Amino acid sequence: MIRKCVLIALLVFMAVSSTLAEDGYRLWLRYDKITDSGKLKQYREYLKGYWLTHDSPTMQVIDDELQMALPGLLGSGVTKVSSVTNNGTLIIGKPSHPALQSLNLGAHLQNAGTEGFVITSTTLNKKKVIIIAANEDAGLLYGVFHLLKLMQTHKDLKDLTITSVPKIKYRILNHWDNLDRTVERGYAGFSIWDWHKLPDYIDPRYRDYARANASIGINGAVVTNVNANALVLTPAYLEKVAALANVFRPYGIRIYLTARFNAPMEIDKYETADPLDPKVRKWWADKVTEIYRYIPDFGGFVVKANSEGQPGPQNYNRTHADGANMLAEALKPHGGIVMWRAFVYDDKVPDDRHKQAYNEFVPHDGQLKDNVLIQVKNGAIDFQPREPFHPLFGAMPKTPLMMEFQITQEYLGFATHLVYLATLFKECLDADTYAKGPGSTVAKVIDGSLDGHSISGMAGVANIGTDRNWCGHPFGQANWYAFGRLAWDHQLSAEEIAEEWIRMTFGNDEIVISTILPMMMVSREITVNYMTPLGLHHLMGRNHHYGPGPWVDGGRPDWTSVYYHRADSMGIGFDRTTSGSDAVSQYFPPVAETFNSLEKCPEEYLLWFHHVPWDYKMKSGETLWNALVHKYYAGVDSVRWMQRMWNTLENRIDPYRFSQVKMLLNIQEKEAVLWRNSCVLYFQTFSRRPIPEGLEKPEHSLDYYMKLSFPYAPGIRPRW
Ligand code: BDP
């Protein structure tokens, strides 16, 4: 009997402790009790009760969130009230509500649109209150998450006067998820969309996913892969998509799908998908009407056409504009948009891949319907650890261009490397295109302010999967978080976003913050150093893009590494100057001149634009070869520094996440060494110069590294 009781107690203990483990599922919405007693006292005083002034599905989810968050943060329940009778009432409502009319909140919300909000401390009926007001429910939800964030990050709630309005209209996650639940370039398990069990089985994750997105202002989700499957447009799947849309709707999230361009042929055996054929146009118009019957607030389509084997209008001798406009016309009556991707390149085209998207799209400027956005990757090649900004930004003033960032780390160590991407995102957003003179930043192009567009967008290729912690690496969550925050406000700094995230994710211990913050801030530069320093790019293993493959040669040239680094006995780098491929001329002056000049080109882009002799003198005075080697070594040394920094946090971070990150950093160190040794030994076969004195020698021969193979590296495209 006693043994039985002990066993039961043990089992209960195990069950409780395993549910209590900080497994990362809660993301940044942890709502643990405030640890600062002064702040806790203040919050309890200001938030004795809350009043939702009207009812709606979104108000219900606000209520749910507050019911979860406030008792957690404050350690005691907060009463729901239906009028202001006490000091310390939080009021959540629209300015037109009779009780709020005297406050003139409408004036503050004049430019807030449907998603902006104000949070203000004031007095109502002689009682001290905090009001979250917005024109529409979505704004109220964002305001509530903002207030919760202030508490989670221990901010003062005295005298609040906050107005926040998103700078970008469509803030969208792109899931490269297949209907069989594999995820292209996904490193966090399988797709969270359980298509087989939908629409009847609603996984609680869908709701938590929506909560997380809403908390950072993401208002759209493309739930299928850009390498699209037409099946998702058939009734059996639309019913499933509708079930997801129903979960997302109260959270202000619209659902979008990828449209396979030849769907009329694949679904209904049409002989053509020619966008100018009236039967094809009718097919799409009918299909879109059908979709809206299932999902009345359907957002629209993302299209990858005539790229990497995907069908498109060019199969019928039509243009990208013809294709995009056909879909735009079908969506227009329902309020939907087309996000047509500019990621097109073709190995049959002899020109430098860097130039192809620009050449293809610039002539279509002004030809696109007003509900088309062209979705442009941050750089002209493909989500590399570092790329100069895409020359299309600023070059199509009559067309809204939206940004496509990659959150999943296809080229940055998968879900195994700690790489904070906000610094990469910011580098691109803050870059000056000079399209309309100085100050014409990429951010101003994509938020529509430079050219006066009323629609604008930012897409992020999601890093989310079925892993318990959603993103595989605990720090991968920071990239999801940062993407959302920057889509809402691209003027935030990478540093302030990181600090918010650390506080919400790991707590407010100042030592934890001052240790993790510098790690995050330099982590991307560290990765650039051990993978592709000085402007090198696309050196990853063939197909899966895992690990180093600078030697990858043969087959389609623009999928090889040698195409990009062009190393030979004289030097290394891709000559994109006016005497080379002339990609530089796609940029506006003075950017074009800067990139074109060997002396003026920033060293971080040197080998992107120039083929440089091995003995070229760098700004530091050392030769290019020595500088390159030193970068690779510095990359590895800095990973070791991150390991040491992390180790100091033992006992300050919960054991589960502490050891998870520690193990991942160990892998990162190993892989950084693999990158360094492989690249240095390989490039040495061209430079024929020694590894500078004092540096540890590679453990193995080049041959050893070249023979390593990783046939089951995750995230690979099924058809490769
Ligand atoms: C590349 C990926 C490939 C994607 C493609 C795209 O390797 O899997 O399909 O981008 O963006 O980065 O369409």
The secondary structure of 247-308 as a DSSP string is HHGGGT-EEEEE--TTHHHHHH--S---TT-HHHHHHHHHHHHHHHHH-TT--EEEE--SST
Among the residue ranges 10-14, 296-300, 644-648, the one predicted with the least confidence is 10-14
Average the pLDDT over 170-181 and give the result.
98
pLDDT score of 20 more than 80: no
Q: How confident is the model at residue 111, as a pLDDT? A: 95
Residue 98, burial from CB neighbour count under 10 angstroms (0-12, 13-18, 19+): exposed
410 is catalytic: yes
Which ligand 1 atom is nearest residue 461's CA? Answer: 11
pLDDT in tens, 59-76: 999 999 999 999 999 999
Ligand 1: centre distance to CA 503 (Å): 33
Residue 408's closest CA among 463, 479, 460, 473? 463
Phi and psi (nearest 5°) for 258?
A: -90, 135
208 is catalytic: no
Of the residues 22, 382, 427, 671, only one is catalytic, namely: 382
Q: Provide the H-helix boundaries in 295-416.
A: 320-331, 353-361
Ligand 1: centre distance to CA 175 (Å): 12
Q: Taking a C-beta distance cutoff of 8 angstroms, is the pair 317, 311 a contact?
A: no
Best probe residue, ligand 1, of 187, 226, 558 (max atoms within 8 Å of C-beta): 226
pLDDT score of 291 more than 50: yes
Q: What tokens appear for 180 in the block?
A: 């069989």
Reduced 3-state DSSP string for 126-189: CEEEEEEECCCHHHHHHHHHHHHHHHHCCCCCCCCEEEECCCCCEEEEECCECCCCCECCCCCC
Beta-carbon neighbour count of residue 225 at 10 Å? 26
The CATH homologous superfamily of the domain defined by 27-164: Chitobiase/beta-hexosaminidase domain 2-like (3.30.379.10)
pLDDT score of 1 more than 60: no
pLDDT in tens, 305-338: 999 999 999 999 999 999 999 999 999 999 999 9
Q: How confident is the model at residue 524, as a pLDDT? A: 98
Best probe residue, ligand 1, of 308, 310, 407 (max atoms within 8 Å of C-beta): 308
Ligand 1: centre distance to CA 654 (Å): 36
Atom 12, ligand 1: residue with shortest CA distance: 382
Atom 1, ligand 1: residue with shortest CA distance: 382
Which ligand 1 atom is nearest residue 404's CA? Answer: 11
Residue type, 569: S
Beta-carbon neighbour count of residue 232 at 10 Å? 22
Question: What is the separation of C-alpha 135 from the centre of its chain, rounded to a whole number of angstroms?
Answer: 28
Q: How confident is the model at residue 718, as a pLDDT? A: 64
Ligand 1: centre distance to CA 235 (Å): 28
Burial 270-291 (b: 16+ CB within 10 A, else e): beebbbebeebbebbbebbeeb
Which ligand 1 atom is nearest residue 307's CA? Answer: 13
Q: How confident is the model at residue 716, as a pLDDT? A: 84
Q: How confident is the model at residue 15, as a pLDDT? A: 44
Ligand 1: centre distance to CA 410 (Å): 9
Which ligand 1 atom is nearest residue 382's CA? Answer: 12
Radius of gyration of the chain (CA): 27
The average confidence (pLDDT) of the chain is 96
Q: Taking a C-beta distance cutoff of 8 angstroms, is the pair 379, 387 a contact?
A: yes
Best probe residue, ligand 1, of 174, 183, 185 (max atoms within 8 Å of C-beta): 185
Q: How confident is the model at residue 21, as a pLDDT? A: 83
Average the pLDDT over 180-192 and give the result.
97
Atom 2, ligand 1: residue with shortest CA distance: 185
pLDDT in tens, 6-15: 444 444 444 4
Q: How confident is the model at residue 717, as a pLDDT? A: 72
pLDDT in tens, 415-471: 999 999 999 999 999 999 999 999 999 999 999 999 999 999 999 999 999 999 999
pLDDT in tens, 502-530: 999 999 999 999 999 999 999 999 999 99
Residues of the chain with CATH 3.90.1330.10: 528-574+611-707
Q: How confident is the model at residue 7, as a pLDDT? A: 44
Ligand 1: centre distance to CA 601 (Å): 28
Q: Which residues line ligand 1 (CB under 6 A)?
A: 184-185, 226-227, 304, 308, 343, 382-383, 410, 717
Atom 9, ligand 1: residue with shortest CA distance: 227
Ligand 1: centre distance to CA 507 (Å): 36
Q: What dotted CATH number matches 170-505?
A: 3.20.20.80
| Sign of the torsion angle spanned by Cα atoms 265, 269, 271, 275 | negative
The CATH homologous superfamily of the domain defined by 528-574+611-707: Alpha-glucuronidase, C-terminal domain (3.90.1330.10)
Q: How confident is the model at residue 719, as a pLDDT? A: 55
Ligand 1: centre distance to CA 383 (Å): 9
Residue located via tokens 């100050």: 439
**In sequence order, which residues have a C-beta less than 8 Å from that of residue 458 and are 6 or more positions away?**
168, 170, 171, 172, 402, 403, 405, 446, 483, 486, 487, 490
Atom 10, ligand 1: residue with shortest CA distance: 382
Best probe residue, ligand 1, of 343, 543, 558 (max atoms within 8 Å of C-beta): 343
Q: What is the DSSP letter of 471?
A: S
Q: What is the DSSP letter of 120?
A: E
Residues of the chain with CATH 3.30.379.10: 27-164
Question: What is the separation of C-alpha 217 from the centre of its chain, rounded to a whole number of angstroms?
Answer: 13
Q: Taking a C-beta distance cutoff of 8 angstroms, is the pair 212, 292 a contact?
A: no
Which ligand 1 atom is nearest residue 377's CA? Answer: 11
329 is catalytic: no
Residues of the chain with CATH 3.20.20.80: 170-505
| Four-CA torsion 702, 704, 705, 708, nearest 10 degrees | 160
Model pTM score: 0.97
Q: Between the CA of residue 195 and those of 180, 213, 527, what are the distances in Å?
A: 8, 21, 36
Of the residues 410, 447, 467, 575, only one is catalytic, namely: 410
